[in-house]
Structure 1
Amino acid sequence: MFFSILPPQQSLLLPIEDPDPFSRRMEMEDRRAGFLYGPSLLGNTSFFPTGVLGGAMVQQHQDQWYKDARWLVETVGKEEAAVLAAIKQAGGIQKLEDYHLLYEGQWQGSVPTGIASGELANFTSDLLFAMERLSSNPYSIRRLHPLVDSLPFELDNEVVIALTGSYLTALHKDGLLFFVDHSYQKDYPTTKGRYVAGCQAYFYLDLRSNQLLPLAIKTNVGSDLIYTPLDEENDWLLAKAMFNQNDLFHGQIFHLANSHAVAEIVHHAALRSMSGKHPVLALLDRLMHQAYAIRPVGEAVLFNEGGFFDDTFALNNHAVRRFATEFYPAGAGAFAPNYFEAELRRRGLIDSAHGPALPHFPFYEDGARILPAIRRFVRAFVDAYYESDLAVAYDWELQAWAVEARGPARVLDFPAAASLARAETLVDVLTHMAWLGGVSHHVLNAGTPVATSGVLPLHPAALYAPPPAARGVASLLPYLPGARAAVGQIALLARFNRPRLAGARGTLLHMFDHEALLRREPARLAAANERFMAEMREISDTISTRTFDGAGLCQGMPFVWKAMDPAQIPFFLSV
């Protein structure tokens, strides 16, 4: 088929090297007629493949995805029943600490590595709450620029001084104030009997402790209460749970618009522009393993009316589509502007000229080791085929890809053809494609929600009572999922995990470990792959053996975050 990496007996060839240009031209005509742009799925984001070849490719990906997921679905079903029985035997969930029953000794098949150490023991910690913004969902927080951003909402100065030793305006002026805005969710449709707030939150860099800490949470619904750490314990815990519910939804659907929809359309444009013998397309095919299964599977069983998402989350499948439609063109779907470091700089999280550096930034710390290793292999791969920028510029299929991507495919902010005439730009593009599917995706999805961002009791997918009209909450339990709903939430998130890939050459460690990709100049590319795998093993050794220091912290956090372990995460858009 035209959409598979070539079998071992065939070579990858640039168009100028192909001894049979006529057959190649015929193939390209078939490709353009067979891979067509169809309507977007799951909101109005990028086109989805149709046509004879497009439909066959999508079906192939779905068949393989369902086959690979079958064991996990069966395992989760058995575990779900076992957890419900254990909770019933223990007398049910009567207090917050009883949510431990949902996890201890459970889900050992679907989540063999367990939830993050410290998530249960330290679930009330303000430091844990703040540092999740720099680890398990690092895409929603930004530093407020003192010269550009006005203060989103005001706070009582006495409260701010009591918490920070400074005024709110001074924190802002000194670049110490950070912000997350989920207020849009208050207007999104919900499932009957479930509720949401639309939280906005301030975080600040506390120079006394050298830690990022929460300052205030504004609900934007009902009485529009503003909570701070000075409130009574139950009120503040509920505020954090309401924010986390917003943040869990945001992370899960943002990843659809930011990784799936972007990577798919870039590859789709390549399918229509390059021969199956083109090395760049072969590399993209490898990175896009099973990618086109996810949106149709999502339409069928996750985001369908009354499906798993409606069954678990407060914001329903219509809210999912609305989010994707709104956020994709507003920045989530941009290509080049979302390169790893450029995107973090734009939000003031690294290299900020308007405030001190974050003392700990786990997502950046791990990503800054992984991304250069990916880039080194991609650089070697590009150099194996292109001797110079001139060779890149004269690759007419490659240039047709740039024109197709920016034109008919409507890829947002894809490099122009003139820019893609440089090898360095090609390396940038391919590195980002590898990053989107092999790393960025899994920071928000795959095993992350079940291990950190969706861990109960303070990360509910839904509120089960309206946000209170006044402070003085006696118990959080009416707002949180009961035993059956809680087990359902964990079971859904466990289905996102892919524990068997570690033993099946499906992890980031093996991203480039495919014979067809290493055939050209085998000494150079085999060595490049061996170096990449060695670097991934070294990074994995660091991440997998992490534990708490003498202060009870790991990377400055009271929980151990391992979401970017190359020996555990898939090299592709797994779910």
Structure 2
Amino acid sequence: MLSFLLLGLSTLIGIVLGLGPGSSSSILSKSGYVLPQFDPNPSERLQEVAVNHAGFLYGPSLIGNSSYFPGGALGRQRVGSDIVAFQENAAFINQSIHDESGAVRERILKAGGFSNLSSYELLYKDVWERSNPIGIAPGYFTNYTQDLHFSMERLSVNPFSTHRLRPGDALPFVPDDATVSKISGASLDSLHRSGRLFLASHSYQARYKLQTGRFAAACDAYFYIHPKTNDFLPLAIKTNVGSNLTYTPLDSDTDWLFAKMMFNSNDFLHSQIFHLANSHAVAEIVYLAALRTLSARHPVRAFLDRIMYQSYAIRPVGNQTLFNPGGFFDQTAAVDQTAVLNFVDQFYPTVAGQFRGNYFVESLESRGLLNCRYGPKLKNFPFAEDASLIINSLRRFVATFVTTYYSSPSFLKDDTEIQNWVVEANTEAKVIDFPPAPLSNTRTLIDILTQMAYLTGVNHHLLNSNAPSYITGLLPFHPSAFFKPLPTSKGVEDITPWLADLEHAMSQVTLQLRFQRPQLPAEHGELVDMFSEGAFNNGTYLPSSVKTAARRFRDDMTRIGTRMDTKGFDDDGLSQGMPYVWKVLDPRKIPYFLSV
């Protein structure tokens, strides 16, 4: 009897862990995926779920106080297998960086180092052919000093740190009204009351511990919609450190550029850690609740298994090599790794960790960036323009997937596993703002799965993956740190002495390159292949409607990517209203999973 149970347990563990590309099981191959109420082997399935529930446990969070991390025997096995997959995926980029960095370093040394801001182009131009075949954003080095370049990064590069101020909101600082009127043609009060005033606040970063010899501000910045042109432009930046200077476009070109760099340094820190708390921590805990409650035969489990490939590698690897004392983060940032923990502790429970609150449309509406009722529409919103195309296609596929398996409303009601998953997410897993139990309509399930695919296939790559090396973290405009005390008065004539030397610059560049996976298109690991043939590889049978929807999704992603190929500058020297070309969300060049 004991040997029979052990054999059964071994078989079930094989099913539970059969998550990666290419895996299969004889049980699943008989009939594909099936809801529990229609499973021909209900007792076997119940035993499998019991093994799942006992083997995947809730362990302590990693990298700050966010979501639980997998514990238990099966949890540890899953983490180990994910780390192996991560290391295999990272091998190409690590070797490429090693092979190419020497020539870049030698080139800069021959040029005499960084003598001015323009010389930082040596870090990027005509190099990193294997490590960064996508290259950098066209227009960056010719146009980064423009105000429109700076402001439009808030609507493309990192749209999560900016919100529109409501007419009744308190203002964190009040620039001189004559200055505001001269810049914008309107008073500060008028901009505020008309819903044209925006804020991005990084004042919380003043609490973070600076490393020895590193310096940073903690900027608040106002942006506004111009009353006549409707352009989205910067208005003022307050540093919140030292002499607490307030800069505006009326300052000297150098002082104003320095202020924008100080803000960008803060915003870059925000984007990188926000992505950890907003995509990784949220998707991981929802999936962990599913691993504990859904059989590997369940179609929703199959969906999640696909998009959560190697997902549990990132936090342990980051804990050991990126955010550990003296790790890659400490080698590049102004603040030390304790700032990462503090950021996660603050933002996960309040903003980043919300599930429904971070649905694509709901998140943008809540911050007044989309469908605003108290101010004018943004003239251009590149992130929303590009992401909405992908999300609409994701939702179409998910809707077909869900309604195929739940063709009757009673099927959802009678699905004990899916109902237990929702209960688990709201209770033991402590997912923030998850839809409540019971799950009574397929629309809510479509919302959940669409959001999970958005987190893994879009949201993550907006802030990470190719983005830092394409534009988000490019020097000299986006420094990870400054290396002299920040000015206590205006009148700076040259910013270069505050910026990274060769060693620190190479550390910043190579760290950002490590987030890329340039070999994935050849391995069918990009978003375009999220649901391609073989994606749901634990079952040989899929309904024809799902296969058709998967082909349509791939066609949609290919079409979106082809459209991005055509992006360029118009007669005004702008692309989507920006003085740079932004192609970060090309579905053919971003992973379908939480890659780094």
Query: TM-score normalized by structure 1?
Result: 0.98
Aligned to 1:3: 17
Aligned to 1:433: 452
Distance in 2, Cα, partners of 1:540 & 1:516? 20
2:480 matches 1:466: no
Aligned to 2:568: 547
Distance in 1, Cα, partners of 2:180 & 2:452? 43
1:21 alignment partner AA: P
The secondary structure found in structure 1 opposite 2:222 is: strand
Distance in 1, Cα, partners of 2:67 & 2:367? 24
Please give the residue correspondences for 1:183-194 in structure 2 after superposition, counting only pairs within 5 Å: 183-194=203-214
Please give the residue correspondences for 1:76-155 in structure 2 after superposition, counting only pairs within 5 Å: 76-147=97-168, 149-155=169-175
Aligned to 1:563: 584
Distance in 1, Cα, partners of 2:360 & 2:540? 29
Unpaired runs of at least 5, structure 1: none
1:522 alignment partner AA: P
1:388/1:423 contact within 8 Å kept:
no
1:3/1:285 contact within 8 Å kept:
no
408 and 215 in structure 1: CA distance in 2 versus 1, 3 angstrom threshold: same
Distance in 2, Cα, partners of 1:337 & 1:195? 34
Aligned to 2:250: 230
1:266/1:405 contact within 8 Å kept:
yes
Distance in 2, Cα, partners of 1:300 & 1:45? 17
2:306/2:535 contact within 8 Å kept:
no
Distance in 2, Cα, partners of 1:563 & 1:221? 33
Distance in 2, Cα, partners of 1:458 & 1:521? 49
Superposed CA offset, 1:70-120 (max 9, x none): 121111122222111000111211011111111111111111010000111
1:80/1:488 contact within 8 Å kept:
no
Distance in 1, Cα, partners of 2:345 & 2:313? 20
2:172 alignment partner AA: P
1:3/1:271 contact within 8 Å kept:
no
Distance in 2, Cα, partners of 1:86 & 1:56? 45
Give the deviation of 1:331 after TM superposition.
Answer: 1.5
Aligned to 1:326: 346
Q: Name which of 479, 483, 491 aligns with 2:510.
A: 491
2:547 matches 1:526: yes
Distance in 1, Cα, partners of 2:458 & 2:195? 29
Distance in 2, Cα, partners of 1:277 & 1:521? 12
Give the deviation of 1:450 after TM superposition.
Answer: 1.0
The secondary structure found in structure 1 opposite 2:293 is: coil
Distance in 1, Cα, partners of 2:309 & 2:362? 27
Distance in 2, Cα, partners of 1:288 & 1:500? 19
Q: Name which of 520, 532, 555 aligns with 1:513.
A: 532
The secondary structure found in structure 1 opposite 2:396 is: helix
Distance in 2, Cα, partners of 1:545 & 1:9? 43
Aligned to 1:481: 500
Distance in 2, Cα, partners of 1:25 & 1:556? 56
Distance in 1, Cα, partners of 2:484 & 2:411? 63
Give the deviation of 1:234 after TM superposition.
Answer: 1.2
Q: Name which of 216, 223, 231 aligns with 1:211.
A: 231
Of 559-568 and 72-81, deviating more is 72-81
Give the deviation of 1:488 after TM superposition.
Answer: 1.3
Give the deviation of 1:169 after TM superposition.
Answer: 0.4
Q: Name which of 31, 43, 51 aligns with 2:52.
A: 31
Distance in 1, Cα, partners of 2:226 & 2:132? 35
1:170 alignment partner AA: S
Aligned to 1:392: 412
Aligned to 2:4: none
Aligned to 1:45: 66
Aligned Cα RMSD in Å?
A: 1.2
Give the deviation of 1:521 after TM superposition.
Answer: 5.2
2:307 alignment partner AA: L
Query: TM-score normalized by structure 2?
Result: 0.95
2:29/2:540 contact within 8 Å kept:
no
Give the deviation of 1:9 after TM superposition.
Answer: 2.2
2:89/2:517 contact within 8 Å kept:
no
The secondary structure found in structure 1 opposite 2:363 is: helix
Distance in 2, Cα, partners of 1:519 & 1:339? 32
Aligned to 1:300: 320
Q: Name which of 173, 183, 187 aligns with 2:193.
A: 173
2:186/2:227 contact within 8 Å kept:
no
Aligned to 1:404: 424
Percent identical pairs in the alignment equals 48
Distance in 2, Cα, partners of 1:109 & 1:286? 27
2:473 matches 1:454: yes
